[in-house]
Structures are given as structure tokens and as C-alpha cells.
Structure 1
């Protein structure tokens, strides 16, 4: 017994598409736009029923011409049977628009009452498929039209006018269908464009929010690291020197209390910014270049040896972003010096003029003796470099020749 399975006709034709025209071969392949059989909506049912009635009405009108022709009764019955089947096949026009239009070409050639179904099938093909499919079906139909009227002439309309009317009707159906198709494609394109615009707007908003949160995170690091370092240094001093003089213990305790209070206040302001969804509006003005002296004075009160060399022409003319960046660089440099080189002298130099830029340098000497470990991830210097780059400047840092450490930045001004 031969158990070999033979492929089905559509599969056989699809595997040998080189035997067929490209449009017909493509029809036997799955349609990527219609992966499954979609359910008809209420509007689809109304439209399909309307086209079915149109096909039946045109078929009934064409049936009147059969009475005037000298055709045997059996052929008239066959003509009407094919017309009825063609009208019923109109319900399949959404599923197989190209197959139905191709099948209507020979059916309409032998059945006069199937003409309405053929027109509906051709219109459906123009709506649901590209023009190359319509060209195959409409071309075959127009090629058979002269032969049809030569074999079955209309008793009331001359041969030329009959052929011309069919050609005109076919062209009108094709044009109308292509217009509907282009309108649908335009609406789909506009919807896709609107969807892409909404997606891009949402992505831009998310990116802006992410950048704002990153800026707030850097601000949180710069603000809190300075305060918490003071807490760590003075708490460590009290731990290692429990027998320190009473005045020194009181001073350290006062610095710890003040630093904790300032850290909590800064943290409240940053959390308030996060809750408000803003990045620039905090509870108090942002620090600028004019606040450097207050920063140095605070460090001196905490026991640091800081020398400030501020030689800037017209400090009031320094841009706010540049001044704020210079302040944060100085603050981070002093914080790192306090953590990794306690007791050493720190020199802060800020020079510049309009057109020349602003130069900020923070340098500390080598620490004496063993420095107790202070937790830190090194992200502060990375954040400073990002700040300087965002303002159009640059920042370098590294060990100095005498064993100390130096941070140097240049920021554009004017």
C-alpha cells in the first residue's frame, strides 16, 4: 500500500509558485496582516448584507435579459443557479478577496446573473489588496468582455456601447475601491503616527524625569556628604579620644548636632523636591560662588586648616550654573580632604575673569600617620566631572607630588 501523503492543492501550488504569476502565488501564502479569521463587527455585518443585496438586485435585473434572448430553458436555469451561488459567495469576500475575484471571471463569463457578484468581488479586491492583484483580476475580466457580448449580444444596447459601459463600470469600481483603500491606509498611518508621537512624548518625559532624578541624586550626594563627613570625623575623634578635654568634647558635640540638623534640613528639602516633581525649586536659594567664604568658615569652625585664595574679577557676573558648580567642586574637595587627610592644610584657589574662564583648585598635603578608614565609593569625583562636563568645562584629579591630593577644574565664563 502506498502510504505517501500528497500535499493539498494550495500547498502544492505554494511549493511551485514559479509556475504561477506572482500575485496568484502570493494569495496562497498566509496574509501577515490577517493572521486569523477576524470576527465581523456590527458594521461589517451591515456592509456585507448591503453588498449581498446589491449583488442580488443586479442579478435580478440581469435575469430579465435572459427572457429576451433565445436560450434553452436548461441553460437559463444553469445561469440563474450560478448567479445564486455567486451571490452567496459574496459573504466570503473578506476572507478570500483575490480568490473570489479570480473565480468570478469565468463564472461571470458563462452566467449573466452573476455580474453583480463579480462587481462586488472586484470592488472588495481593490479595497483589501494592492493594485497588482486588481490588475490581474480586472485585466482578465476586461479581456473577456468583448468576447462575452459577441457571443451573447444585448438585444437593446449596441455592441460597442455594451462593451464601453462594462469597461467604464469596471474602471469606476476599481477607482472607488482604490480610493477607499488609500483612505483607510491614510487613517492607519495617522493613527500609527499619533501612537508613535504619544510613545515618543512619554519616553521624552521619562527621560527628563530620569535626568532630573539623577541631578537630584548628585545634589543629594554633594549636600549630604559634606554634613555626614563632619559627623563621621567628629564622632570618630570622640571614639578614639574618650579622655579629651571637656571644651573639646563640647565643641565636637556642637559640630555633630549642627551638622545633623543641617543634614536633616537638606534631606527634607530634597525629598520635597522629589515629591513636587521639580528639580530646581528647593526651599532656599542654591549656593553660588559668593557662598565659598561661608563654606570655608564652617570648615574652619570644624577644626580644618583651610586657606582660601579667591581672585575673581566681578564675582556678581559669574553665571549661576558656573558658580554653583564651583561651589560643589570646592565642597567635595574639602569633604574628601577631611575624610582621607584629616589634620592637613587644605588650599582652595579660585581665579578667573570674563572670557578667561573660572579655575578652581583644591589641594591638600599628605596625611600624617595612619588615617582611620572612612566609608566612601568614590562617586563624588565622578559626579564632579559630570557637573564640569555639563557646563562645558573639564576636571582633573589625582595625587600631588608631595603625597597629597589635588582637584583642579576649569569652567567656561563668557
Structure 2
């Protein structure tokens, strides 16, 4: 039996599995509806032929001859009305309900309509229709007796057929409700995961903004200090004045760069007023981070190929530190005992490359320490805001690799 469920349609009738507004038939729906129509039409012709065959021993509830002709007409109408069962199943059930009292040719149509209402409409409506079918079983057999079967045996067979249809319909209904429930859970889980990722991005932006705030305050304090010295010593030698002016120019340039980054980060509201961490880490703090990880039992190998480590911009150094920190944390969580290789390379004009890799643990990642999966999201957000690029995952050798490139301009 075909489904009339539209998964993406938000307006569902209470207690039903179909949308309030009918959907367009799919090719599968056309096939099923055509097949049911042909089956119903075939039953109409077979039942009428048996009723007028003149062989009572093979007749299907023959009844009076004039009733057989009327039954043929209403059976054909009921078969044609099956094309309306998707749009108006309850209306079709009400319209065909009187046929349960006398019609043999519409028997297949009545069972299909009963099945459709039980599956796609509130259960109370379907059970009411079932009660009507059971209540009309006795009058039907009295009007159209079966000459080849005792009265109570015919009643039993009628109840059995109705019971089979009801059981089948309830099974299909329960299965579809389960599918809808699982789909709803999957959509909710996806939405919650997306919310966690957005929160991780916002938290990382707020963290970067707080770090930049401290650096910017440091730059401005240098400006104030040297400007105050010039104001206090207007008669200073030209060499000292030139040196102080150079410091002021460099600090002002760096402050403007940091200010641009702060403005870019704060486009997303974080709503966080937590006290920023002090002091802010730089690339020079990576050895201490590595030593801390070694003390924690992580085997770390460092390859430092940075040409001018003292000239790394503070913002780039902080980002590199955070990337190394996240890579070591992930290795400690998911690959305990593995050797982690940290490689730093680059220079002014070519950028700073950070590469952390470790062998994939045998038997799959360890699950001893649970993670939220948002650390790499924060790293990606940080690198993107800095104008760089990041990549993570298993490489061709089967190792897990976290690689990032950060721009390092020549000053």
C-alpha cells in the first residue's frame, strides 16, 4: 500500500500521518493506485459474473437477480472512486459505508478504504469505521447469503478478513510512525550539533577578541609612553627623538592591524564578559607547551624550521600556539601512547606552517576521554579569521594530521 506521507511538509493533521494539504502523486503512487484500481475492477467483474452465472453452488452471495445488476453499477462507481482515496479518505469511507450492507462487488474497494483510513487518519476514525464494518456483517449476510456456506461460518470469514486488514494497517501505521520518529530525532540531533558548532565558533571568536584586546592595550600603552617621553624631553637629542618616533610609528601600525582584526572578530556577538587569560601565549611558548605534554606522558617530537622566530607577529604566534595545543590535546585523548610530531616552518613573506601528526591508533580511536568535537571547529575559525587555511584528517599514510598555514607578512 502506498504512503501519502510527505516528510518535508510541516502541517500534519493531529494523530495522522498525512499532511493537511494533499501532495502531488509520485510515480510510485500512480503505480500503486492504478494497480489497486485494476484489482478492484477485476473483483467487480468476477463477483458479478459469479452472481449471474446461474450456478448457485459457485455463486458469491448471489441474492436477488435485480440486486446483482444494481451491485454491478455501484461496484464500478466505487472502483472509480478509489482515485479519490488519497485526497479524501474519510469522505470516501463515509460515502461507501452504506455499501457494506448489500454490495459484494465493492468488497475490495471497501477493504482498501478501510486500510487507508486506519493508516493515514486518526485512530479513532479508523476504529469507528471498523466497528461499522463489523456491525453490518450480519445484515449483509442476511441480504446476500452464501449458498455454499452456513450463516455463522460466513460471519466468521467476514470478521477474519476484516481482522487481517486491520492488523496489517496497524502494523504499517506503527512502522511509519517509527520512521517519522527516527527522522525527527535525526533532524533534532543535527540541529543540536549545528548549535554546538556555532557556539564553539562564537566562543573562539570571543577568546580571540579578548586576546587581541590585551595586545592592543599593550600597543597603545607603548604609544602613550613614548609620546609622553617626547613631551617631557622636548630638548632631547635628534637621535633619541627619531628613535622614539620610529617606535611610535611601528606601534601605531601594529595597533591598527590588531584593531582591524578585533573589529572583524567582534562582528559575531559572543556575550561573554569573562576575564581574559594572562599572559597571552606566543610562538615562543610552544616549547613550554611541548614540555608540559611530555610531563603528562605524551611522546612529542618537535621540528622547528622557522627562519625568524623572533619576528613572528604576535597574533600569528598565538594562533600557532593554539593549533599546537589542540593537536597535542587530541593526540592525548584519542591516540594515547602514540608519537606526536610537531613541525613548525616558514618565514616572513612565505607564511607560517604548523603540522601536527600522529599514527592512527590500532583498533580505532580510544574512547577513554570523551570530547565534544568542537576543538577543531575553533581552530578552523581562528585560522580563517587570520586569513589562513587549515586541513585535518587521515592522510595517505593512515596518520591523523592537523595542518595549518598562517600568513606572515614582511614588515
> Which TM-score bucket, shorter chain as reference?
0.5 to 0.7
Q: How far does residue 86 in structure 1 lie from its aligned partner after superposition? A: 0.7
Aligned twin of 1:165: 157
* Separation in structure 2 between the aligned mates of residue 121 and residue 33 of structure 1, nearest angstrom: 15
1:215 equivalent to 2:214? Answer: no
- Pick from 60, 64, 84: which aligns with 2:45? 60
| TM-score, structure 2 normalization | 0.54
2:41 is the counterpart of 1:42: no
User: Where do 1:323-362 residues align within 5 Å?
Assistant: none
Aligned to 1:19: none
CA shift in 2, pair 1:164/1:61, >3 Å: farther
Structure with the bigger RCO (C-alpha within 8 Å, sep 6+) is 2
Give the CA deviation at 1:57.
2.5
2:212 maps to 1:227: no
Distance 1:263 1:70 in 2: 100
CA offsets, 1:56-99, max 9 Å, x none?
A: 23323322442236655432211100011111111111111122
- C-alpha distance in 1, partners of 2:170/2:188? 26
| TM-score under structure 1 length normalisation | 0.54
Q: Alpha carbons of 1:70 and 1:119: their partners in 2 closer, same or farther (altered >3 Å)?
A: closer
The equivalent position to 1:117 in structure 2, one of 109, 114, 119, is 109
| Count of aligned residue pairs for this structure pair | 258
Corresponding residue of 1:88: 80
- Residues 125 and 133, structure 1, Cα contact 8 Å, conserved in 2: yes
Of 169-178 and 136-145, deviating more is 169-178
Q: Deviations over 1:350-406 (max 9, x none)?
A: xxxxxxxxxxxxxxxxxxxxxxxxxxxxxxxxxxxxxxxxxxxxxxxxxxxxxxxxx
The change in CA–CA distance for 1:66 and 1:219 in structure 2 (over 3 A counts) is: same
Change (3 A) 1:108 1:70: closer
Q: In 2, distance between residues paired with 1:32 and 1:124?
A: 11
With 100-109 and 60-69 compared, the bigger mean Cα shift is at 60-69
Contact persistence 1:48–1:91 (CA under 8 A): yes
Partner of 2:323: none
Determine the C-alpha separation between the residues in 2 that align with 1:215 and 1:283.
15
Alignment match, 1:185? 177
The Cα RMSD (Å) is 3.9
Q: How does 1:15-414 map to 2 (within 5 A)?
A: 34-67=19-52, 68=56, 71-235=63-227, 237-238=229-230, 242-246=234-238, 248-250=240-242, 252-253=244-245, 255-256=247-248, 259=251, 284-286=283-285
Q: Kindly state the Cα deviation for residue 121 of structure 1 after the two structures are TM-superposed.
A: 0.4
Change (3 A) 1:213 1:285: farther
Structure index of larger Rg:
1
Residue 271 of structure 2 corresponds to which residue in structure 1?
none
User: Are 1:109 and 1:144, in contact at CA under 8 Å, matched by a contact in 2?
Assistant: yes
Gaps of 5+ in 2: 1-12, 267-276, 289-294, 296-411
Give the drift of 1:222: 0.6
CA 193–213 in structure 1, closer or farther in 2 if over 3 Å, else same: same
Is contact 1:269-1:283 (8 Å) kept?
no
Contact kept, 8 Å, 2:219 with 2:255, in 1: the verdict is: yes
Name the structure 2 match of 1:322: none
Task: Note the C-alpha offset of 1:254.
Answer: 5.4
1:251, 1:260 → 2: CA distance? 14
Label 1:133 to 1:217 Cα distance change in 2 as closer, same or farther (>3 A): same
Report the CA distance between 1:285 and its aligned residue. Answer: 4.0
CA deviation digits over 1:304-335, x for unaligned, max 9? xxxxxxxxxxxxx9xxxxxxxxxxxxxxxxxx
Shift of 1:38: 1.7
The more displaced of 34-43 and 217-226 is: 34-43
CA distance 1:74–1:230, shift in 2 (3 Å): same
* Cα 1:282–1:178 shift into 2, 3 Å: farther
